[in-house]
Amino acid sequence: MTADVREIALSKRDLREVAAFAAVCAEAVLGIFEADQPDDSRPRDAVGAAWEFARGGERGKTLRDTAWAALKAAKSAHTAAAREAAWAAMSAAGAAYLHPLAKATQVKHILGAAAHAARAVELVADDDRTAGVGHLEQAVSRATPLVVDVLKRFPAAPSGGGRVGELVRVLDADLRSLSFAASRSGGA
Residue 186: the pLDDT is 43
For residue 7, the model assigns a pLDDT of 92
Which residues, listed in sequence order, are joined to residue 7 by a DSSP beta bridge? 101
φ, ψ for residue 64, nearest 5 deg: -65, -45
Q: How far apart are CA 88 and CA 91, in angstroms?
A: 5
Q: Is the pLDDT of residue 188 over 90?
A: no
Averaged pLDDT score across all residues of the chain: 93
Per-residue pLDDT at 111: 98
For 134-158, what is the mean pLDDT?
96
pLDDT in tens, 63-90: 999 999 999 999 999 999 999 999 999 9
Label residue 5 by pLDDT band (50, 70, 90). confident
Q: How far is CA 129 from CA 51, 116, 120, in A?
A: 29, 13, 10
Q: How large is the angle between the packed helices 107-124 and 12-27, nearest 10 degrees? A: 10
**Segment 108-124, tens digit of pLDDT:** 999 999 999 999 999 99
Model pLDDT, residue 179:
79
The percent of residues in the chain predicted with pLDDT above 90, rounded, is 90
pLDDT tops 90 at residue 51: yes
pTM: 0.92
* Distance from C-alpha of 66 to C-alpha of 83, rounded to nearest angstrom: 15
Is pLDDT of 2 > 80? no
Q: What is the average per-residue pLDDT within 153-176? A: 97
**Cα 2 off chain centre by:** 26
Asked whether the beta carbons of 157 and 111 are under 8 A apart, the reply is yes
When pLDDT is averaged across residues 21-39 and rounded to a whole number, the result is 98
> How far does CA 148 lie from the centroid of its chain?
13
- Rounded to 10°, the helix 145-152/107-124 angle is 120
How many Å apart are CA 117 and CA 122, to the nearest integer? 9
Helices 80-94 and 12-27 cross at an angle (nearest 10°) of 160
Q: Is the pLDDT of residue 183 over 80?
A: no
